Chain A
Amino acid sequence: MELNGSQIMIEELKAAGIEMAFGIPGGAIMPFYDELLKADFPHILTRHEQGAAHMADGYARVSGKVAIIVTTSGPGATNLITGLANAQMDSVPLIAITGQVATNMIGTDAFQEADVYGCSIPVTKFNWLIKDVNEIQNVTREAIRVATTGRPGPVLLDFPKDIQITRAEYTPRESVESPLPAPRQYPELDMDGIEKLLEAIERAERPVIIGGAGIIKSGASEELAKFAKATGIPVINTLLGLGGFPGTDELFLGMPGMHGTAYANFALCECDLLINLGARFDDRVTGKVSSFCPKATIAHVDIDDAEIDKRVHTHIPILGNVRDVLITLNERLRPGDYDEWRQTWTDWKANYPLQYDWDGSIKPQYVIDQIQEITEGNGIYVTGVGQHQMWAAQFIRFNEPKTWVTSGGLGTMGFGLPAAIGAKFARPEKDVWLIDGDGSFAMTLVELATAATYNVPVKVAILNNAYLGMVRQWQELFFEKRYSHSHYPENPDFGMIAEGYGVKGINVTDVNEVRNSLETAAEHDGPVVLNFLVNKEENVWPMVPAGAGNDEMQLAPPSREARS
């Protein structure tokens, strides 16, 4: 049959099971939008293209499925860059389809023309400028394959307006010819590496597992739980690995690094074997590399060769899918004897718990604790970036994978609200809680309109301290309390703003109203914004100062530490 370029792309997207689009139309993408409508393709109209990207991101993290983002050329496409960079850093599959000016206009500084192909090279896993209607079928399939296989990531298809309407013969085919080099073939399984790791486990006296995003993305949570329980080795989860191991399990040591738990960092400093399963040794995890796990043999399982030995020298590198490796490990495991080690870290857990003071003000950690209590770890938790994000990572105890949506690598403020909306679309049966800061929330709050329009019942808890809190914390600790431009003394009334968007808004100023307001929000049939005016000077502890080693962790404010 003869179809136009837009129809061919939509046919291919549907054939691949893609069933969600987020975006905003504009001049250069109108023919494609016309066909989306005719094809009855599910589409969410957002208020900003960055919001569309983060929605698709939240959707992908929770569902494991890929959504498309559709924007027009020029500013529509450049507004995506942050969203693509965010997905690239956290290995989230997205497919961006951006309109482009007609091929005969490219390079003429046409209206709303931008070199989107060039702009998106460093922030995508792969990108195409489609110049011929006959390549659409292959390119679309390849885009989906590249985005979703190996180490996942965002891809971008730049789609000139004239190609969108050019007609061509289209035959749905089972397989199409790949326009790209054959995908990288991973070795069956690195049995040598696995054998070395098994020997190291047998020899070890103080082993620790660090589970990263690879656990979540490869669906290895159950295998990880089997592995940990069979061996008795405790588990640390990185920020993006949270949910990969049950937060309430006695073997769980929480998050490592800059704002990790004291016991996770103690364990890293003392372990003699570190088993890294799909984490990339981010600088926020390792601190100063020269004092990272100084006593340990380091094993690293990763699907991306370029991550192995990138920052931390690895003694036992295993290239491969984490889940595949774990399955094989589990078949060959011999239970270890780490009783003395278990006593050590159990004592640490008891003696150095996460804690916060109680002074009558609304403590942000208390709000998160209460969210944890009413949801019992069964919700989906989304955050912006900053102090609130670290407290959420510390105090929420996740029961299952794919229930934690946070911007890790790029640290994108404003990620929260659109990501929460995307997450709710992915799993409508789950309660989706956005724990956000006032700074982060203000960056993309316009998407409240999207939540209202589509009645997406996300529950937003703003921990409003009228500061860029993490900046404020660093200024207090490292810049002699010179608070250079981190204060928002005239913050808007977020409760009233929410109401203005048609979303239920509640300002909470009294600590005794926290629990009630959360319950009200939970029961409300629709989106809610809770604006908690929290203690302005609360800091995140423990803390490993930037550039310091994990052994230089400060447990509490210097004054308090001195007293205890």
Chain B
Amino acid sequence: MSRNSNNTKDDTHTIAVLVENKFGVLAKVASLFSARGYNIDSLCVGVTQDPSVSRITLVTRGDAKVLEQIRKHLSKLIDTFKVMDMGETDSVEREMILIKISAPKASRSEIFQIIDVFRGRVVDVSTDTITVEVTGDEGKIHAILNLLQPFGIKEIARTGKVALTRGAKTLKGSKN
């Protein structure tokens, strides 16, 4: 887009946004992405310690230019209090995944071992399947999915990523 743009590599970014907790705000955030043809890889929304404020954590991809536009337009939304690219600060990122694995008797012990190594929790068992809950960063989720793949993954549900800055720093603040 810009003749001086030297960073055209598409990177994944985790962006946290504090918004008004009311109907329609999520539609406005989503509309901002769809209007520009930007994809949202994951999206997680929940109320914060202040019930009038929601925190949206979304993961998106783009080069530096696209990311800057995303950040500016999110900030420009009237409902927005604060926007932060979590990658620009030291942060803790977590995602939870529920995995339903095909688990006949023969392979169960091996599956349990893997779950154990990843500190997952078995949350449901049936005659043919095991459902496991795993929490971790992207690398960990990716790794356990890889390891369980050979057994036959029947279904997964992911929460999408959430993130907090490390240390005392918080995102809370007046509209930037």
Chain A residues with CB under 8 Å of chain B are 117-118, 121-122, 125-127, 129, 146, 180-185, 289-290, 304-306, 309-313
Q: Are A306 and B76 in contact (CB under 8 A)?
A: yes
Nearest residue in A to B30 (C-beta to C-beta)?
A121
Taking the nearest CB of chain A, how far is it from the CB of B22, in angstroms? 9
Q: How far is the CB of B26 from chain A (nearest CB, A)?
A: 11
Q: A184 to B35: give the CA distance in the assembly, Å.
A: 23
Q: Is the CB of B35 within 8 A of A181?
A: no
- Residues of A near B69 (CB, < 8 A) are 306, 310
Taken together as a complex, chains A and B put the C-alpha atoms of A324 and B65 apart, in Å, by 28
Nearest opposing residue in chain B for A142, CB measure: B78
Q: A122-B31, A184-B176 are in contact. List 11 more A-B contacts (CB 8 A).
A: A118-B27, A121-B27, A180-B78, A181-B80, A182-B174, A183-B175, A289-B2, A289-B3, A304-B76, A305-B72, A311-B1
Partner of B3, one of A122, A180, A313: A313
Most buried by A among B2, B5, B23, B31: B2
Asked whether B14 is an interface residue with its Cβ less than 8 Å from the other chain, the reply is no
Please give me the residue from chain A that is nearest to B34 by CB atom.
A122
Q: Which one, B2, B20, B73, B175, contacts A184 given CB within 8 A?
A: B175
Contact residue among A117, A289, A290, A305 (Cβ-Cβ distance under 8 Å from B24): A117
Are B68 and A309 interface neighbours, CB within 8 A? yes
Which residues in A have their C-beta under 8 angstroms from that of B5?
A: 313
Top 5 A-B residue pairs of the complex, sorted by shortest distance between their CB atoms: A306-B72, A313-B2, A313-B4, A181-B175, A126-B78
Q: Looking at the assembled complex, report how far the CB atom of B65 sits from the nearest CB atom of chain A, in whole angstroms.
A: 8
A118 — nearest CB in chain B belongs to which residue? B27
**Chain A residues with CB below 8 A from B73, complex form:** 306
**Chain B interface category by residue count:** 20 to 34
Q: Is B75 an interface residue (CB 8 A)?
A: yes
Residues in B62-120 with C-beta less than 8 Å from chain A? 65, 68-69, 72-73, 75-76, 78-81
Tell me which residues across on chain A come within 8 A of B4, comparing CB atoms: 313
Which residues of B, 1-15, contact A by the 8 Å Cβ criterion?
1-5
- Judged by a CB distance under 8 angstroms, whether B28 is at the interface is yes
Whether the pair A305, B3 counts as a contact (CB closer than 8 A) is no
Whether B3 contacts A121 by the Cβ 8 Å rule is: no
* Distance A305 CA – B174 CA, assembled complex (angstroms): 17
A305 touches B28 (CB 8 A): no
Interface string of B31-67 (1 = CB under 8 A from A): 1000100000000000000000000000000000100
Of B24, B68, B78, the contact of A129 (CB 8 Å cutoff): B24
Please name all residues of chain B whose beta carbon is closer than 8 Å to the beta carbon of A310 when the two chains form the complex. Answer: 69
Nearest A-chain residue to B31, judged by Cβ: A121
Of the A-B pairs whose beta carbons lie under 8 Å apart in the complex, a sample of 15, sorted by A's number, is A121-B24, A122-B31, A125-B78, A126-B78, A129-B23, A181-B20, A181-B175, A182-B175, A184-B175, A304-B76, A305-B72, A305-B76, A306-B69, A306-B72, A313-B2
B36 to chain A, nearest CB (A): 10
Q: How many angstroms between the C-alpha atoms of A117 and B27 in the bound complex?
A: 10
Shortest distance from the beta carbon of B56 to any chain A beta carbon, whole Å: 14
Enumerate chain B residues within 8 angstroms of A126, measured Cβ to Cβ: 78
Q: Is the CB of A181 within 8 A of B24?
A: no
Verify A146–B78 contact, CB threshold 8 A. yes
Decide yes or no: A290 and B79 within 8 Å by CB, A117-B24, A182-B175 being known contacts.
no
Considering the chains assembled together, what is the distance between the CA atoms of A35 and B123 in angstroms?
A: 61
Residues of A within 8 A of B79 (CB): 180-181
- B4 to A: closest C-beta gap in Å: 4
